[in-house]
């Protein structure tokens, strides 16, 4: 994996709970899996499994012996169950992956509805492109890449516009199959054949660093990007100021309303947002020194996720450290840094629970913005039917749902860490909150002064949040 220096909060959103980063080593258990192996028999039993191993145990247990070895764990995240020694019956269908073969009980080369498990079961109808009641290898693979293959027929009866949607997230990242892909399918269906949106996942079409430019230059026509791009969206960064947001749902909704009312619209001259969202809140996570009070922060070396969070770390008396996102595990492990500012969402995939023990939450730092977007010139060039389908599935509701997605992932990440032995989670007390607020006040003051309309934008955001919290 290439080393990338970028805003941690942004990249964390892209690779949220990405399971391919957690694999075993052959027949031997990885160190992480070994920690679950309470009886030290070299297998993770059903009663020992945690996290994703627990929720996917039956599917992972290829030999059905009631325990997971390293090969089964690794195979689940890379290619499925190991190929059996027996000769596999040949079929006319595109071949199944090893993982799908394990579901094919009748060995007909298809995963039938009654055989499907996990994501294949919950998405069976969408995957079954030819509606023959069974999934072949091409249908399963296509679901996670380009969708159903184009039928081998002559020309369509109507002209169909095809848009490529660039999501730098890996194909199996939940943000793709749980959130973005269902949206593309809904828009495509609602267009009545006038539009087809193809979700392109991974780093081939665009990366987290260049997705905005790739979409603006028409390499892709829709994109998913964070807004911590140099100098482009300073007004939208209002959601990242401390002690404003309670969660991503209200932040995403409030941010969209600021845009819809024209308050921050001037920043979006090149693109048309289809959804605006705010990433989950950041917290302090340290190796050895628990942070419970302001005094505990002083002198610590803390990895920050952006220029704004670096300012926060500095005003609190700590030393902000610029460590590439993918290097923070090693930096914590070696003691190069004392702690990091991070979201709960990244703990499982990046094993940060192995190199941090103490966690402080409740500061409500973060809430940095992101968006699904397309250039105005692309939108304007669509047919009326295509624009209607996009409009009907964009805007406030799309933004709210995006926030709900992040909140669920944040809760799952916290629950995972809270169950790990030796970890402490501290929440600042109401009486201490005033002290933290006062200490961080210069950050908000500085942001306001940096913009001619900073105070107006901040007041507007607070008004929207109050309205949302009142049920409006």
* More confident position, 336 or 365: 336
| Spatial contact of 416 and 348, defined as CB atoms under 8 Å apart | yes
158 has a pLDDT exceeding 60: no
- The single residue listed with the structure tokens 């704004």 is 308
Helix (H) or strand (E) holding 342: strand 339-342
| 277, two tokens | 């969202």
Domains of the chain in start order, with CATH, are 19-78 (1.10.238), 99-139 (no CATH), 281-368+407-469 (3.40.190.170)
Phi-psi category of residue 201: left, alpha or beta, with phi > 0 → left and psi -120 to 50 → alpha: beta
Query: How far is Cα 142 from Cα 149, in angstroms, rounded to an integer?
Result: 7
Residues near 324 by beta carbon (within 8 Å), at least 6 away in sequence: 3, 4, 5, 6
Q: What are the structure tokens assigned to 174, written together?
A: 């939940």
CA distances from 250 to 45, 80, 341 (A): 41, 39, 22
Query: Residues 6 or more apart from 104 whose CB is under 8 A from it?
Result: 96, 110, 111, 112, 115
pLDDT at 254: 98
Q: How far apart are CA 416 and CA 19, in angstroms?
A: 14
Condensed to tens digits (0 to 9), the pLDDT of residues 66-75 reads: 888 887 776 6
- The mean pLDDT of the chain is 85
On whether the CB atoms of residues 356 and 35 are closer than 8 A, the answer is: no
Query: Out of 109-118, 151-160, 381-390, which region has the weakest mean confidence (pLDDT)?
Result: 151-160
- pLDDT tens digits along 362-403: 888 888 999 999 999 999 999 999 999 999 999 999 999 999
Q: How far apart are CA 22 and CA 468, in angstroms?
A: 38
Work out the pLDDT band at 151, boundaries 50, 70, 90. Answer: low
Cα separation values, 334 from 34, 113, 302, 356, Å: 22, 49, 14, 12
Q: How would you class 207 by CB atoms within 10 Å of its CB: exposed for 0-12, middle for 13-18, buried for 19 or more?
A: middle
CA 71 to chain centre: 27
Give the separation between CA 278 and CA 264, rounded to whole angstroms: 15
Collect all residues with Cβ–Cβ distance below 8 Å to 205 and sequence separation of at least 6: 164, 166, 214, 219, 220
Strand partners, 199: 165
Length of the chain: 472
- pLDDT over threshold 60, residue 97: yes
- Whether 9 has a pLDDT exceeding 60, the answer reads no
CB 215 within 8 A of CB 271: yes
- Residue 46: the pLDDT is 87
All residues at 6 or more sequence positions from 385 whose CB lies less than 8 Å from its CB, including other chains: 191, 192, 194, 195
* pTM reported for the whole predicted model: 0.69
Tell me the C-alpha distance between 418 and 447, whole Å: 35
Percent of the chain scoring above 90 in pLDDT: 52
Please give the pLDDT value at position 154. Answer: 36
* Ramachandran category for residue 166: left, alpha or beta (phi over 0 → left; psi -120 to 50 → alpha): beta
Confidence band of 306 (pLDDT split at 50, 70, 90): confident
Q: Which of 192-196, 295-299, 305-309 has the lowest mean pLDDT?
A: 305-309
Tens-digit pLDDT profile for residues 33-47 = 888 888 888 888 888
């Amino acid at each position: 994996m290439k080393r990338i220096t970028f805003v941690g909060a942004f990249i964390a959103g892209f690779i949220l709970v990405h399971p391919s980063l957690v694999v075993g080593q052959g027949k031997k258990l990885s160190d992480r899996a070994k920690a679950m192996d309470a009886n030290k028999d070299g297998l993770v039993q059903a009663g020992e499994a945690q996290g994703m191993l627990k929720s996917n145990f039956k599917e992972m247990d290829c030999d059905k012996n009631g325990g997971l070895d390293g090969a089964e764990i690794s195979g689940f995240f890379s290619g499925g169950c190991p190929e059996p020694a027996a000769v596999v019956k040949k079929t006319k269908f595109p071949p199944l992956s090893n993982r799908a073969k394990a579901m094919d009980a009748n060995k007909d080369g298809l995963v039938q509805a009654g055989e499907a498990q996990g994501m294949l079961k919950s998405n069976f109808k969408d995957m079954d492109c030819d509606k023959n009641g069974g999934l072949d290898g091409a249908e399963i693979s296509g679901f996670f890449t380009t969708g159903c293959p184009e039928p081998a027929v002559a020309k369509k009866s109507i002209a169909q516009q095809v848009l490529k949607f660039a999501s730098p997230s890996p194909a199996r990242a939940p943000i793709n199959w749980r959130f973005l892909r269902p949206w593309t399918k809904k828009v495509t269906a609602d267009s009545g054949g006038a539009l087809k949106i193809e979700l392109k996942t991974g780093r081939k079409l665009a990366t987290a660093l260049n997705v905005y430019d790739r979409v603006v230059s028409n390499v892709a026509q829709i994109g998913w990007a964070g807004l911590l791009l140099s100098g482009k969206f300073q007004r939208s960064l209002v959601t990242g100021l401390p002690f404003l947001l309670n969660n991503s749902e209200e932040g995403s909704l409030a941010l969209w309303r600021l845009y819809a009312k024209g308050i921050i619209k001037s920043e979006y001259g090149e693109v048309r947002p289809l959804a605006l969202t705010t990433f989950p809140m950041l917290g302090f996570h340290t190796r050895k020194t628990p942070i419970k009070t302001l005094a505990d922060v002083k002198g610590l070396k803390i990895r920050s996720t952006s220029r704004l969070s670096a300012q926060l770390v500095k005003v609190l008396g700590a030393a902000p450290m610029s460590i590439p996102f993918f290097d923070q595990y090693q930096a914590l492990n070696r003691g190069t840094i004392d702690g990091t500012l991070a979201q709960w969402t990244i703990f499982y995939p990046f094993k940060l629970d192995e190199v941090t023990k103490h966690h402080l939450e409740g500061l409500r730092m973060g809430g940095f913005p992101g968006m699904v977007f397309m250039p105005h010139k692309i939108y304007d060039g669509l047919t009326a039917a295509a624009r209607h389908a996009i409009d009907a599935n964009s805007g406030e509701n799309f933004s709210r749902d995006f926030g709900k997605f992040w909140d669920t992932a944040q809760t799952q990440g916290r629950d995972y860490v809270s169950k790990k032995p030796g970890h402490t989670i501290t929440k600042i007390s109401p009486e201490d909150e005033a002290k933290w607020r006062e200490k961080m006040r210069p950050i908000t003051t500085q942001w306001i002064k940096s913009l001619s309309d900073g105070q107006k934008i901040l007041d507007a955001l607070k008004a929207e949040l109050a309205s949302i919290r009142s049920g409006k």
